[in-house]
Each structure stands twice: as C-alpha cells, then as structure tokens.
Amino acid sequence: MSLYSFGIEPISCHAWNKDRSQIAISPNNHIVQIYEKTDNQWKKIHDLTEHNGIITGIDWAPNSNRIVTCAVDRNAYVWTLKDGVWKPTLVLLRINRAASCVKWSPLENKFAVGSGSKTISICYFEKENDWWLSKHIKKTIRSTILTLDWHPNNILLAAGSSDFQCRIFSAYIKEIEDKPSLTPWGSKMPFGELLFEASESGGWVHGVCFSPNGQYLAWVSHSSTVTIADATKDKSVTQLKTEFLPFLSVLFVNENQLVAAGHNCCPYLFSYTNANSIQLLGRIGIQKQNARGNMSAMQHFRNLDKKATTDNEDTALDTLHQNTIRQLRIVEVEKANVTKFSSTGVDGALVIWDTKP
C-alpha cells in the first residue's frame, strides 16, 4: 500500500490518466487539480478552473485523453489537451439542478451525467455543429442520481439514486452507433428503455458497478448492504447486510470478487458465487500497531511530563485513511484481475491498495 496526502481539504473525486502517471482530483471546490508523479512525489502541473461550483464528478478517458467534469453549477465540460494547455468545451446538459456524477462509456464516444433533476443526460459529439449534445433519460426516476456505471457493451447504463432504487437503462444512440446485440439484461433496447429495477437496497444507492463481463451488477447503499443482481439467473438479487457503517463506493476486482469502502475508512473484500451467496473475505490492508501496547519508554515519560499520566491518548484510527472513503478507482489490471486500486477520502488522502485482504 502507498499513502499520499494532498492537503487537509476533502477530495470529492479523482481520476487517472491511461498510464497512471497523472491524477486529476478536486479538493472539494470548483477547481480540478492535475498532478504528475515524479520520484514518488506528486507535483501539480495544471489547474482546470472553468466551473463556478463544487466539482462532483471527474472521468479521464484513457485512449482519447479527454477529461470530462461536472459540478453543482449544472454544467459539464470536456477538456482536451492542446499545446500543453487543457481547453474546455461546454456540454449542453439542459438540467435545472446540480450535476452529481459523470462517466465515460467504454468506447469513449459518449458519457453519462447524473443530476438532481431526476435525469440522466447521455452526451455525444455532433460533428456537424461541433458541439456536445445530450439526450435525457427520465423514466421512473424519482430522485437524484448519485452514481453511474457502464456495461462493457457500451450500451447499458446502471444508475443508483436517492429514491432507494438501482436501475439499468439502455443508452443506445442510433446517430453514432450500430444497433446493439442481445444481452442477458434484455433484448429490446431503444434509448431510455428500463431493463432492470430493484428496490432491495433499503437506502440511498451510493455506488454501482458492473462485473468485467457484465453478467453481474453490484451496488452498495446507505442501509449498510451489498447487493448483486445476476443477469443469467433471471436477474435474481442477492443481498448481504453488514455490520459496518454505510459504503459509498464499490468496485469489481474480478468476475467473482468486489471491494467496497465508505464510512468505515477502509476497503473490504467480498466474494459472490453461483450459490447466490455474498461472503465477506476480510479487510484489505494491515492494521496499525496498537500504540498503547508498543509505547516506548520515551513516550511514557513525555506523557507523564505533559499530562501527569502515562496513558497514550492517541485518537488516530487504525486505518490508513483517517476519515470517510468517497471513491474507488482501478489502478492496475493483470489478466482481467485488478491487482491495485486507489481510494480518496474526506481526509485529503490518496491510498493505492493491493487486492489482498
């Protein structure tokens, strides 16, 4: 594991470039900061300052090297690097509430933006007019979209919202792509078609993620549950109620294992089998040593001198993150298995983890 600090401000979201040499973060304000890694240190090289509201989503397309951002100012921008400068292009979202999340599709020919206007904007580039247009998905959505994830086929889109629902929609745009083939999630896929809806979460759905081949959809909610829907078993739903504080982000590390993290300040590894069972495999990372049990003689006398007691009143958590983890991202993949992933949180820290409990 590697721990890096970007200050004391919470990191609201982050995204990596293709070779993981650069990272884009937003320190809970209207600016996106881009850092480059040199000699195990992160140096800031760019500030993206077009937004005038708190940044809520960043995604970095690996192949086209374009960054898309969204914010509470109800805007989204696509950033393109030209002559060493990031140039923004405004996206026509047509929403009347804050944008809440953004995600490039796997082929990078479109992206989705969730918002507080009970709407998902599917945005694509129109060459004739040289701008980014959007089509809206509104069917059955009754509250703010909190999280999004694309199916590997570039057509299906999963969305979690604060109406306790997890849904899968068709985001097929006939103007820019061929007619989609059949999937286990559904056969008829006109734009905006609702293919799956589940209300088993019991709370706000904070994170959604498709498995690598798209067979499973996992989501985590504010009821401290981890839920998985299986497309090959008539979209059956399996749920695990945990004893932890609510998770905010979830990530498949391979077809049968996933990582979730949130208010417990550390990631946990789960497994799912065809037996319709979700199992907790353990916590990822090594606990810090108990300070009381390993207090040095010098620390013993310092406490006696300062506090008239030998008690070590260390309030630090035994986790690398010292506050809530907001987001997980893939860092390294080998043979379809995620070997490293990153987390950012309210403590202003970035941690790169190995996928071993």
Per-residue pLDDT of the chain (357 residues; tens, 9 = 90+): 899 999 999 999 999 999 999 999 999 999 999 999 988 899 999 999 999 999 999 999 999 999 999 999 999 999 999 999 999 999 999 999 999 999 999 999 999 999 999 999 999 999 888 889 999 999 899 999 999 999 999 999 999 999 999 999 999 999 999 999 899 999 889 999 999 999 777 899 999 999 999 999 999 999 999 999 999 899 999 999 999 999 999 999 999 999 999 999 999 999 998 778 999 999 997 654 443 333 445 555 555 555 555 555 556 788 899 999 999 999 999 878 999 999 999 999 999 999 876
Instruction: Name the pTM for this structure.
Output: 0.90
Distance CA 51, CA 53 (A): 6
206 closest CA partner among 273, 147, 291, 284: 147
Distance CA 353, CA 85 (A): 31
From the DSSP assignment, how many helices (H) and strands (E) are in the chain?
A: 1, 28
Q: What are phi and psi of 119, to 5 degrees?
A: -140, 145
Maximum CA extent, the chain: 76
Listed as own residue / partner, the contacts of 271-277 with beta carbons closer than 8 Å and 24 or more positions apart are: 272/216, 272/218, 272/228, 272/238, 276/230, 276/233, 276/236, 276/238, 277/238
Q: Which residue has the tokens 């409990």?
A: 357
The length of the chain is: 357
pLDDT digits (tens, 9 = 90+) for 302-345: 555 555 555 555 567 888 999 999 999 999 998 789 999 999 99
Burial class, 150, CB count within 10 angstroms (exposed 0-12 / middle 13-18 / buried 19+): buried
Residues paired with 20 in a beta bridge = none
In 10 A of CB 222, how many CB atoms? 20
For the chain, what are the domain ranges? 2-293+321-354, 294-319
For domain 2-293+321-354, which architecture applies? 7 Propeller (2.130)
CB 24 within 8 A of CB 33: yes
pLDDT digits (tens, 9 = 90+) for 283-305: 997 654 443 333 445 555 555 55
Distance CA 212, CA 354 (A): 18
Based on C-alpha coordinates, what's the Rg of the chain?
Answer: 21
CB 353 within 8 A of CB 341: yes
List all residues 6 or more positions away from 39 whose beta carbon is below 8 Å from its beta carbon: none
